[in-house]
Chain A
Amino acid sequence: MPKSKDHRLPTNISSKCVKCGTCHSVCPVFDAVPTESHTARGKMALIEAVAQGRLEESERYRDYLEACLLCGACQEACPNEVPTLAAMLEARESLAGRMGLKTGKGMILNHLLATARGFRLAMRTGRAVQGLMFRRIPESSGLRRRFPLPLIPEDRTIPGVARDFFTDLYTGTVRTGSGPRVGIFAGCMTNYFYPETGADMVDLLGMLGATVVVPEGQVCCGMPALAGGARDTVRDLAMQNLEAFEEYDLDAIVTGCASCGGNLKDNFRALLAEAGASEPRIEAFLSKVMDINEYLARMGLPSRTGEGADEEAGREPLTVTYHHPCHLGRLQGVKEEPVRLIQALPGVRYVPMEEADRCCGMGGSFSIENYDISKRINDRKVDRILETGAQAVVTSCPACILHIRDGLRRRGRADVEVHHVAELITRRMEEEEVESGKEKGESGRGDAETRGRGEEVSCEGERGG
């Protein structure tokens, strides 16, 4: 395979690992397949051997490196603070420089993600042909493949490409309010597969009085490409995103995708600097980036607690549990906010889940390359979800939603709902409007605050789609 000119070996950060083995106890992949290659310790040893020139970057080396969810559990547990994620991304980049990107994945990464148009085009094509290739599964929006496709195993349920993409439905300034000016970073999964999550975010932010903007020029955050080692590509994507969001004068940039958020916060600073953006520009962009949960918590949501209200109203609350996406809970440290938001929702009873912060097994392309392992990891997640007895599981990442839905379906439990936090909150708030509207007539309980929200919904809440 061609060796690119600017192939760089990984640096020696992997040698910070002292081989204690602590990371074995937290790695979901090692738990499913207990072999040294499937641990951070093993990967650090291999990367070190490559960095020292003792080991070739072989196919087997690549397979071992890719047997990783990039979930960050090892890094969190490591008593020696080894930056395992950075070491693994660096090693993957070196590999890609050495061997080229994998065909299939490489093609998707380089040619599709590189331009927003390319990816859109691919998704449009996907939407047109998906009816031919997948049979739609009744009582859900999932698709299961009809004949062999290289990347999707037979028993896997994936969502259909949306009829209308989020960024087609919502472009530019989509809500005008008196509050802060908030830009939405959609992310590809939300944009192409779950536009309803994006729409919920728009509604929710609108209800809170924000001016909501969906900058036109935004593109993929590049996380899949970065994980595949295509750092050059991601540099360009980072720059395009910077430029897109600079177009607007924003107070906050909010995303509902844990992986995009993690990538923006953790990797964009370096990427943008490499791409030549000045420090003030980078700072102006990244200092505003936050997850939707963080934004809502910062805006003082929840403003009321739901518990007493349900008893008063004499209704059965929806039981909800929460799964912490690795890239939100662990990487961004946003753990309390979503739980507090859920706990405060009227009509909802929160039930905690064991191992709530354990990876669902998705890991981006990991689940494509290693679907069998991914399923085993996912089974454990599904077990924990079912043990709670909750009617719905809520999370904050479209990738987790996809994988958990797939897992529940495989286990014959598609009756358990899977939602994005934004969706749950929006739905509950809307239902509350109806409830309080009813009650207003009877008991006169609708206070000014609720009414205010109701008006905002009615004057701006038209959802296009």
Chain B
Amino acid sequence: MEPSAKLDRKNRTRIRQIVGPDHCSDSSEDLFLYAYDALNRRYLPDMVVHPGSAREISELLKLANEARFPVVPRGAGTGLTGGSLAVDGGLVVTTRRLDRILDIDRDNMTVWCEAGVVNGDLQAEVEKEGLFFPPDPASMKFSTIGGNAAENAGGPRAVKYGVTRDYVMALEVVLPTGEILHTGSSAIKSVTGYDLTRLMVGSEGTLGFITRLLLRLVPKPETVRAMLTVFPETRMASNTVARIMSSRIVPSTLEFMDRSAIDCVKNYLDIELPDDAAALLLIEVDGRATSVTEQMATIQSICREVGANLVRAADSEEERESLWTARRSLSPAIMKIRPLKINEDVAVPRMKIPELIEGVEEIARCRDLIIVNFGHAGDGNVHVNLLVDPEDRDEVARAHSAVEDLFRLVVSLGGSLSGEHGIGIAKAPYLAIELDETMISVMRRIKGALDPNNILNPHKTFDFDPSVTSREFR
């Protein structure tokens, strides 16, 4: 492979000295291993390192500013928008060795951990102490807390508990220029200075390299109960959600599937579904056992009143699991229709979901595509999945037009291009559909102030450059 001009021999040696020879590589094999994330595109970095401390990362960034090579933070590489890809080469810096849970404080209900800890591992550890870390992206068993914070990830529990942002109290961050910054406070209330914690969360690795996080925890709920309900009309599902919320019940999960999604999973369910199933809701309630039972009863009667043609509560943990198999089997079931899935995680105000679904059905008809919708009904975050055959050029082209149609529709409904997955390179070309000039210019100025040499994760989000990203290989 061509040694890139970005990293000459001298700099490679200095990098090796900083992290130690066992923790870096520029062998072709290792470069191929860090050329992708879950967006499934390929860009080879020039070198990969696994530093063991914030100090080492600081030295790497100082060197990068001197020598002007890109530095790309990487957690588990499960991002869906290409955030951890070295689109312009340079150095990939992983958090693999920053994997310690440092201190679980039961009384204050907080935990300090390093950025490379896997979300699911953290959850298991704090649950041993009777505590609970709510952010639950579907990737929680294999994505890192650092990556979750950088993408502000969320999951089904967001409807009740919020997203990663709502649980980050303080951060240790290495700035693009190499200084180590400590944001936030261990006190729940703190208004001293700008809220740089929130600035860093969701910044997709472009403003700072997160090395440690102080996370807020909550008591572990006593019980969780689940139910599944099916409606003959999409609007009924939205009305149900609205009525549940206004009866002062906040479910811990409100997952939604549209007609095409239901068709995909029908065969995976033990339950016989009614023929006219236009929308399905998977609802969970958690808390004290007595109140959970009451809330379940209320929700069930709401569903029936609104017009559900199936209401099924899980009485045991096994039954709850079997209801979830419907949701979990969705992904593989979808892939059976077409080999390529373009997943757009748009978000609209909750009550606009029926309009969104109708609009998407219209787009699918006009563009002659198969589109499957499911997502989080409680917070209006819908996964719109365009299914295409990558070999069929015309279909791929129609899908790209459909994505643009979709984003315009979403913005016209007062929504957002991405509810959880971020912008990266995948959604960057469409950013201007949602954000105005002023917004983009302010973000540019913030980036310029923190990263004057554009070292950290360049060419992502508003800094997108098609002439760079077109250099991928397939």
Give every chain A residue within 8 A of B37 (Cβ-Cβ): 19
> Is there a chain A Cβ closer than 8 Å to B211's Cβ?
no
Chain A nearest CB, measured from B435 CB (Å): 28
CA distance A54 to B339 in the complex (A): 24
- Of the candidate stretches A20-28, A160-168, A235-243, A450-458, the one touching chain B is A20-28
- Taking a contact as CB atoms closer than 8 A, the residue among A18, A22, A56 that contacts B28 in the complex is A56
CA distance A145 to B78 in the complex (A): 44
Chain A nearest CB, measured from B380 CB (Å): 25
> Is there a chain A Cβ closer than 8 Å to B59's Cβ?
no
Q: Contact: A21 with B139, CB < 8 Å?
A: yes
Q: Contact: A37 with B28, CB < 8 Å?
A: no
Q: Contact: B332 with A55, CB < 8 Å?
A: no
Q: Contact: A37 with B78, CB < 8 Å?
A: no
CA distance A55 to B76 in the complex (A): 23
Q: Contact: B78 with A55, CB < 8 Å?
A: no
> Is there a chain B Cβ closer than 8 Å to A81's Cβ?
yes
- Taking a contact as CB atoms closer than 8 A, the residue among A19, A24, A64 that contacts B40 in the complex is A19
Chain A nearest CB, measured from B233 CB (Å): 30
Give every chain B residue within 8 A of A25 (Cβ-Cβ): 120, 141-142
> Is there a chain A Cβ closer than 8 Å to B36's Cβ?
yes
> Is there a chain A Cβ closer than 8 Å to B433's Cβ?
no
- Taking a contact as CB atoms closer than 8 A, the residue among B32, B50, B78, B335 that contacts A49 in the complex is B32
> Is there a chain B Cβ closer than 8 Å to A297's Cβ?
no
> Is there a chain A Cβ closer than 8 Å to B77's Cβ?
yes
* Minimum CB distance partner of B143 in chain A: A21
CA distance A16 to B473 in the complex (A): 16
Docked complex: A33-51 residues within 8 A CB-CB of B: 34-37, 42, 45-46, 49
Given that A25-B141, A25-B142, A79-B331 are contacting pairs, would A19 and B36 also be in contact in the complex, using a CB cutoff of 8 Å?
Answer: yes
> Is there a chain A Cβ closer than 8 Å to B29's Cβ?
yes
Q: Contact: B33 with A36, CB < 8 Å?
A: yes
> Is there a chain B Cβ closer than 8 Å to A80's Cβ?
yes
**1/0 contact string of B4-44 vs chain A (CB within 8 Å):** 00000000000000000000000111101111111110000
CA distance A376 to B40 in the complex (A): 32
CA distance A241 to B30 in the complex (A): 41
> Is there a chain A Cβ closer than 8 Å to B62's Cβ?
no
- Taking a contact as CB atoms closer than 8 A, the residue among A21, A34, A79, A80 that contacts B96 in the complex is A34
Give every chain A residue within 8 A of B473 (Cβ-Cβ): 54
Docked complex: A187-231 residues within 8 A CB-CB of B: none
Q: Contact: B78 with A64, CB < 8 Å?
A: no
Give every chain B residue within 8 A of A55 (Cβ-Cβ): 28-29, 32
Give every chain B residue within 8 A of A19 (Cβ-Cβ): 36-40, 77
- Taking a contact as CB atoms closer than 8 A, the residue among A45, A54, A58 that contacts B33 in the complex is A45
CA distance A24 to B40 in the complex (A): 16
Give every chain A residue within 8 A of B76 (Cβ-Cβ): 21, 24
CA distance A42 to B142 in the complex (A): 14
Give every chain B residue within 8 A of A20 (Cβ-Cβ): 38, 78, 139
CA distance A20 to B331 in the complex (A): 11
CA distance A80 to B337 in the complex (A): 12
CA distance A408 to B228 in the complex (A): 46
Q: Contact: B40 with A37, CB < 8 Å?
A: no
- Taking a contact as CB atoms closer than 8 A, the residue among B27, B32, B39, B142 that contacts A24 in the complex is B142
Give every chain A residue within 8 A of B331 (Cβ-Cβ): 79-80
> Is there a chain A Cβ closer than 8 Å to B56's Cβ?
no
Q: Which of B27, B37, B139, B142 has the most CB of A within 10 A?
A: B142
Q: Contact: A37 with B33, CB < 8 Å?
A: yes
* Minimum CB distance partner of A78 in chain B: B332
- Taking a contact as CB atoms closer than 8 A, the residue among A56, A60, A64, A80 that contacts B335 in the complex is A80
Q: Contact: A80 with B332, CB < 8 Å?
A: yes
Docked complex: A49-94 residues within 8 A CB-CB of B: 49, 54-56, 58, 60-61, 64, 79-81
* Minimum CB distance partner of A59 in chain B: B29
* Minimum CB distance partner of B76 in chain A: A21
Given that A34-B99, A36-B34, A46-B33 are contacting pairs, would A81 and B77 also be in contact in the complex, using a CB cutoff of 8 Å?
Answer: no
Number of interface residues of B (CB under 8 A): 29
User: For the complex, would chain B's binding face be called helix, strand, loop or mixed by DSSP majority?
Assistant: loop
Given that A21-B76, A21-B78, A25-B120 are contacting pairs, would A61 and B33 also be in contact in the complex, using a CB cutoff of 8 Å?
Answer: no
Q: Contact: A60 with B332, CB < 8 Å?
A: no
Q: Contact: B32 with A46, CB < 8 Å?
A: yes
CA distance A36 to B92 in the complex (A): 13
Q: Contact: A36 with B40, CB < 8 Å?
A: no
* Minimum CB distance partner of B77 in chain A: A21
Given that A34-B96, A34-B99, A80-B335 are contacting pairs, would A22 and B142 also be in contact in the complex, using a CB cutoff of 8 Å?
Answer: yes
Chain A nearest CB, measured from B332 CB (Å): 5
Chain A nearest CB, measured from B128 CB (Å): 14
Chain B nearest CB, measured from A229 CB (Å): 18
Given that A18-B38, A25-B142, A79-B332 are contacting pairs, would A35 and B96 also be in contact in the complex, using a CB cutoff of 8 Å?
Answer: yes
Give every chain A residue within 8 A of B40 (Cβ-Cβ): 18-19
Given that A22-B142, A36-B77, A58-B29 are contacting pairs, would A81 and B332 also be in contact in the complex, using a CB cutoff of 8 Å?
Answer: yes
CA distance A314 to B26 in the complex (A): 68
Q: Contact: B139 with A46, CB < 8 Å?
A: no
CA distance A301 to B357 in the complex (A): 55
CA distance A16 to B332 in the complex (A): 13
* Minimum CB distance partner of A21 in chain B: B78
CA distance A172 to B78 in the complex (A): 56
Docked complex: B96-139 residues within 8 A CB-CB of A: 96, 99, 120, 139
Give every chain B residue within 8 A of A22 (Cβ-Cβ): 139, 141-142
Chain B nearest CB, measured from A212 CB (Å): 40
Give every chain B residue within 8 A of A58 (Cβ-Cβ): 28-29
Chain A nearest CB, measured from B471 CB (Å): 14
Q: Which of B28, B32, B78, B339 has the most CB of A within 10 A?
A: B32
Q: Contact: A64 with B29, CB < 8 Å?
A: yes
CA distance A71 to B141 in the complex (A): 19
Q: Contact: B335 with A79, CB < 8 Å?
A: yes
CA distance A374 to B40 in the complex (A): 31
CA distance A135 to B432 in the complex (A): 74
CA distance A374 to B332 in the complex (A): 32
Give every chain A residue within 8 A of B28 (Cβ-Cβ): 55-56, 58
Chain B nearest CB, measured from A372 CB (Å): 15
Given that A35-B96, A54-B473 are contacting pairs, would A21 and B142 also be in contact in the complex, using a CB cutoff of 8 Å?
Answer: yes
Chain A nearest CB, measured from B343 CB (Å): 11
CA distance A202 to B339 in the complex (A): 49
CA distance A119 to B141 in the complex (A): 44
Question: Would you mind naming 11 contact pairs between A and B with Cβ atoms under 8 Å apart?
Answer: A22-B139, A24-B141, A36-B34, A45-B35, A49-B32, A54-B32, A55-B28, A55-B32, A60-B27, A64-B29, A81-B332
Task: Report, nearest first, the 10 A-B pairs whose CB atoms are least far apart.
Answer: A25-B141, A24-B142, A21-B78, A36-B33, A25-B142, A79-B332, A19-B40, A79-B331, A49-B32, A19-B36
Q: Which residues of A contact B (CB under 8 A)?
A: 16, 18-22, 24-25, 34-37, 42, 45-46, 49, 54-56, 58, 60-61, 64, 79-81
